[in-house]
Structure 1
Amino acid sequence: MKKLKMFFDIEKEEQWLNVQLQKGYRCTNISGLGIYTFEKTDKRYVMRLDYQDYLSKKRFKDYKGIYEDFGWIYINGPWLGGIRYWQKEDDNQNEIFSDRQSKSNYYKRLMGYSSGLCILFLSFFYSLYKDSGLYLAEGLWSMKGALFWKAFLFETPFALLRSLPALMVVLFGSSFYKAYRKYSMLKEK
């Protein structure tokens, strides 16, 4: 079974994957385009996600070895860095972060990831629209009556597409804020 789904919140993605596992579908592959591949299983599994920056081949091998020593199976993850997908049979030892420090470091990595993407989309949005605005139809605002409404309605879907970087700024900004709150709570305790 394959499902197409996009996530901007790593914790919501993890929850959704675990719901699929509870329904009896084990994840076998995740593509970078948001295509999840599942197979039916009778065993109970649990899935955890981790965000890692770039790891050299040796560090990645060590990173993978540590998790595999505890029974985790590596599903997928981008080559350079990003979200790493781990799955194993449910044995009541289902957390990948053993202490507050490792959990705190996880949220710190997530904050860096979210803020980097937020800044990237913000600079992209600014460079695209600093002079032109969202509506590019020349003379649109000087048109009158029905001609204005036809041109406005025609141009609006394109304006919405051009505003997509701003939406991404909001999504990654909120992701940063959630990670920051959790990081702060762990630091306070």
Structure 2
Amino acid sequence: MKKFKMFTDIEKEEQWLNEQLQQGYRCTNISGLGIYTFEKTDKSYVMRLDYQEYLSRKKFNDYKGIYEDFGWTYIHGSRLGGIRYWQKEDDDQNEIFSDRESIRNYYKRWMGYSFGLGFLFLAYFFMLNKDSGLYLAEGLWSMEGSLFWKALIFETPFALLRLLPAIVGVFFTSSSYNAYRKYSMLKEN
């Protein structure tokens, strides 16, 4: 079974993947385009996501080895940086972070990554639309009557597509803020 889904919040993605596992579908592959491949299973699994920055080949192999020693199976991710997907059979050791410090570092890494992506999407949006508005149809605002409404309805989907980078940027920036809040709470306690 394949499902298409896009996420800007790593915790919501992890929650959704674990819901699929509870329904009896184990994740076998994840493409970079948001296509998740599942297979039916009778066993109970748990899935955890981790964000890591660039790792050298040696550090990446060490990173994978540590998790695999504890029974985790590496599903997807690049050593160049990004989200790493881990899955294992459900038992009493279902967390990938062993202490408070590692959880704080995770949120710190995620905060930087999502803020960077949010900033890039917002910068792209402003560069794309700096000399024009969202509606590019020439003379749209001077049209009258039904011609105006037809042109407005026709142009609106294109305007929404031009707005999409700003929407994605806001979601990533919001995700960064949520990671910052969680990081700060762990730092205070």
Q: TM-score, normalised by structure 2?
A: 0.97
Q: Which residue of 2 aligns with 1:71?
A: 71
Q: CA deviation at 1:146?
A: 1.4
Q: CA deviation at 1:143?
A: 1.2
- Counterparts of 1:5 and 1:122 in 2: how far apart (Å)? 22
Q: Which residue of 1 aligns with 2:176?
A: 176
- Counterparts of 1:149 and 1:40 in 2: how far apart (Å)? 50
Q: Does 1:44 align with 2:44?
A: yes
- Counterparts of 2:106 and 2:183 in 1: how far apart (Å)? 9
Cα deviation 1:100-143 (Å, max 9, x = unaligned): 10000000000011110011011101111111110101111111
- For residues 150-161 of structure 1, the aligned pairs below 5 Å read 150-161=150-161
Listed as ranges, the gaps of 5+ residues in structure 2 are none
Q: Does 1:109 align with 2:106?
A: no
Listed as ranges, the gaps of 5+ residues in structure 1 are none
Q: How many residues align?
A: 189
Cα deviation 1:156-188 (Å, max 9, x = unaligned): 110000000110111101101110111011001
- Counterparts of 2:55 and 2:78 in 1: how far apart (Å)? 11
Which residue identity is paired with 1:13?
A: E
- Counterparts of 1:78 and 1:135 in 2: how far apart (Å)? 39
- For residues 1-189 of structure 1, the aligned pairs below 5 Å read 1-189=1-189
- Please report the RMSD computed on the Cα atoms of aligned residues, expressed in angstroms: 0.9
- Counterparts of 1:79 and 1:67 in 2: how far apart (Å)? 14
Q: CA deviation at 1:78?
A: 3.0
- Counterparts of 1:135 and 1:38 in 2: how far apart (Å)? 41
Q: CA deviation at 1:38?
A: 0.9
Identical counterparts, % of pairs = 79
Whether the 8 Å CA contact 2:56–2:79 is kept in 1: the answer is: no
Runs of 4+ in 1 over 2 A off after TM superposition: none
Whether the 8 Å CA contact 1:32–1:78 is kept in 2: the answer is: no
Whether the 8 Å CA contact 2:60–2:79 is kept in 1: the answer is: no
- Counterparts of 2:59 and 2:79 in 1: how far apart (Å)? 13
